Amino acid sequence: MRAKTAVVLGAQWGDEGKGKIVDVLSERFSAVARYAGGHNAGHTVIHGEQKFVLQLIPCGILRKGCQSVIGNGVVLDPIAFLKEVAKLRELGIDVDGALHVSNRAQVILPYHRMIELAAESAPGRQKIGTTSRGIGPAYEDKMARGGLRVVDLLRPDLLKTHIEAACAEKNAIAHALFGTDPLDPAKMYDEYAAAAEKIRPFVTDTGRLLNGILREGGNVMFEGAQGTMLDIDHGTYPFVTSSSATAGGAATGTGVGPTAIGTVVSVTKAYVTRVGEGPFPTEIHDEVGAHLQARGHEFGAVTGRPRRCGWLDMPLLRYSNQVNGAEWLVVTKMDVMDELDEIPVCVAYEINGKVTDEIPADVQGLEEIKPVYTRLKGWRQSTEGITEFDRLPKAAQEYLRFQERESGARIGMVSTGPDRDQTMVLPEFAAALDEIHR
């Protein structure tokens, strides 16, 4: 019998529209668990006139009866978390009893932001294009075994000692390397000790919680943050995030064993976007790229940063599906392509005169890629709001089937607009979801 879980993640560099897809699917799941990243990853969900921008909290919080879990693989900024909780309460969302934070999640503290902002701004250093929210330095402390976990945050004596020792070290480093003014450990302790008491009711052993839900016949969706090509191991290193954004991170980031992963759903736009620095082989540098950016509202949900736009990259999508073991493909923002006469799709790479579909591991190799394109016919008709595959223009159907043939994963869903109802679920995928839901 297939495990009653699904991982939903991004196929490229994030911003693929995972938030809407998780929201649409969450009605079929007992719990939604976030397993990586921090409050740098924004998910936008639109319900009619209401717009929700979630940063740390899983999209399942918008469904009554669905448990929402922030797993141990996430780095938690206590102040950002409490602001998000307060905003949800203002919007009438009941978070109490439905939202859970892992006692093993790492905590972001102000010195993490100080170090990251100073490093990104320092002259002569390679800019990664981070959001400067302290994500990377918090993961660095985790791997160096010097970080603070949520369970430790709840112990005032340990918190005080940790902040005093960390500030002594981080202030010295930041001042020596970047000339940064020191942070006040006493002020920091007062703020975070107060925040800890407000967070305390949400904290539990979330691995135990999720495994218990599965044992009792419930089902769990694992919500990815960012995208596969930002994964610390498998992405376009060093222009990546600091955590495991791929499907494997769902197990390590929640405490649910890998044999419990039932299926992997990979989300891709009908084109590709990237925010921040780093290689982007199919990036569009002319007015068509500006058209996609404007029509697709390609600006970060959390940061407002403009996203670079490019054509669909099939070697990258095949690589992503291979890394994740993706069974299903969800295509978002189909309607953004409605006005194009012709749609180039990258089907191979030319590197140093040789044609290949292998993605280089190094940045230099990625920057030397010359995309090999095939050109598909555009449909020049509105697809907005269409929820049945057969009602799509023939050229749009062929565009989707081409992705299916070339990517190695089956098309399960298509998003034709930002609203929850502007979503097409194909029969085979609906049947697979029913099997998980039973």
List all residues 6 or more positions away from 213 whose beta carbon is below 8 Å from its beta carbon: 30, 31, 67, 219, 220
To the nearest 10 degrees (0 to 180), the angle between helices 394-407 and 314-324 is: 50
**Active-site residues: which are they?**
15, 43
Question: What burial class does residue 434 get, using C-beta atoms within 10 Å of its C-beta: 0-12 exposed, 13-18 middle, 19+ buried?
Answer: exposed
Residue 244 contacts residue 252 (beta carbons within 8 Å): yes
Reading the block at residue 11, the tokens are: 């196929």
* Amino acid symbol at 23: D
CA–CA distance, 187 with 176 (Å, rounded to integer): 22
Cβ–Cβ under 8 Å, residues 73 and 248: no
Going by C-alpha positions, the residue among 136, 139, 99, 96 that lies closest to residue 119 is 136
**Which residue type does 218 have?**
G
Per DSSP bridges, beta strands 272-274 and 75-76 are unpaired
